Amino acid sequence: MKATFYERLASYIIDFLIVSSLLSIICYKLPDNSNTYIEEINTIYESYTNNEITPTDFADKYLDIVYNEEKKDILTPTISVILTIGYFIVFQYLNNGQTLGKKILKIQVVDKNTNTPPSILKGTIRTIFILNIASNIITIILRTCVDKNTYLITSTILSIFNWIFLVITIVLMISKSSCRGLHDLMANTIVIKERSWYNAWINRSRIN
């Protein structure tokens, strides 16, 4: 039996909280420049409200601050990508198509043709776009090798693509009886109710 949209949504919220918590713990000791960033934004905003700079100058200075701040922070998004890959691809593959969120909601990802947990390749295909892994990797690379305008334009395009992909996925999951999103169609997977007997058999087979 297929998993419902709300079961999948609930499992993702749990998984998101887990990964976000891990990221916060790992990055806790990293340098934090947020105070300087906020001060710089406040400074140019005050200049703008006092009519000391034009709206165009304000926009240019704001984008400069955003670009410079993001360019300095390569480590955090890199750790985020590694965690996302490790949790949503590797861990899910080793755990019979289940993350902790899916385990709690008693649902799992399976190959639509074989009705067995998907291969690591299919798991990667279904995850890399829906969780923005591909766009995040591209963004990290762009931060290190392109100028401000190219970076901002490309980042905006990637952000628009991510939103379009997400909206199409949600619409498909709500409208289709199979509750398959665009990422499921790309990887030929489906999310179903957990089959405890099958998972137990797989685990015993791996041990033996």
First to last CA, the chain: 29
Distance, CA of 107 to CA of 179 (rounded, Å)? 13
Q: What is the pLDDT of residues 79-110, one digit of tens each?
A: 999 999 999 999 999 999 999 999 999 999 99
Rounded to two decimals, the pTM is 0.80
User: What's the rounded Cα separation, in Å, for the pair 189 and 105?
Assistant: 18
Query: What pLDDT does residue 197 have?
Result: 45
CA-wise closest residue to 19 among 71, 92, 69: 92
d(CA 191, CA 127): 13
**Mean pLDDT, residues 163-172:** 94
Percent of the chain predicted with pLDDT > 90: 48
- Mean per-residue pLDDT, 154-175: 92
Token pair, residue 73, equals: 């922070």
Q: What is the pLDDT of residues 51-60, one digit of tens each?
A: 888 888 888 8
pLDDT in tens, 4-25: 999 999 999 999 999 999 998 8
Count how many Cα atoms sit within 13 Å of the Cα of residue 159 in the half-sphere of its side chain: 6
**Residue 31 pLDDT greater than 80, yes or no:** no
Which carries the bigger pLDDT value, residue 102 or residue 30? 102
Residue ranges covered by each domain of the chain: 5-33+73-196
Are the C-beta atoms of 22 and 82 separated by less than 8 Å? no
**Average pLDDT, rounded, for the chain:** 87
**Dihedral angle sign, alpha carbons of residues 146, 148, 149, 153:** positive
